[in-house]
Structure 1
């Protein structure tokens, strides 16, 4: 049971991570306050075209190993937060300061923040 809980917590990004999980409220505040954060949407191009955070780059998860981002600090999100945890680990290993949006774009919208459609 303990192993299963640890496995679940790891894949949710709650333990053993080199990035920070932040709520939509904190993310919104940081984005309004700072222009040095690059927003990275790791969903598919089709999902990105449906809706995305204003100013986000579309960099699907399967492209992150090869892509170069000209940024130091990145805010990463996916639909519900699962893919962004994996993406956050990849980007943290590449040396970025990573902020992972908890709950992804779904929680962002639920919190009442705007997306581009």
Structure 2
């Protein structure tokens, strides 16, 4: 049975940086304005309030936000919808790699 306390696997921002060398699906669940201020180049913006509508057929989804709280929420929703999800702990606050501004 699914609950809000379902554990979702997580990785560090450092581990995410290593994963970015291959083709992965990375979703940034921050607001569009936060995303435009700076995001990881491979990240697609799907704000938390729209995550329940996400329906792409992908293997594993990595989810990031600013601190790791909203992405953990989003990860639980995606997991409930049948996705294999990994949360990025600490979010963009822990990210030390390059960021891209704009859309």
TM-score after normalising by structure 2: 0.87
Q: State whether structure 2 residue 103 is matched by structure 1 residue 115.
A: no
Q: Which has the higher contact order (CA 8 A, sep 6+)?
A: 2
**Higher Rg:** 1
Q: State whether structure 2 residue 10 is matched by structure 1 residue 21.
A: yes
Q: Which residue in the other structure is 1:59 paired with?
A: 46
Does the CA-based 8 Å contact 2:27-2:44 persist in structure 1? yes
Quote the Cα distance in structure 2 between the aligned partners of 1:75 and 1:114: 17
C-alpha deviations, 1:11-37, integer Å up to 9, x for none? 8xxx741x21101111111121x21x2
Q: Structure 2 stretches of 5 or more lacking a match? A: none
Does the CA-based 8 Å contact 2:60-2:85 persist in structure 1? yes
Quote the Cα distance in structure 2 between the aligned partners of 1:102 and 1:66: 23
* Aligned pairs, number: 98
Runs of at least 4 residues of structure 1 off by over 4 A?
none
Q: State whether structure 2 residue 85 is matched by structure 1 residue 98.
A: yes
Q: CA RMSD in A?
A: 1.5
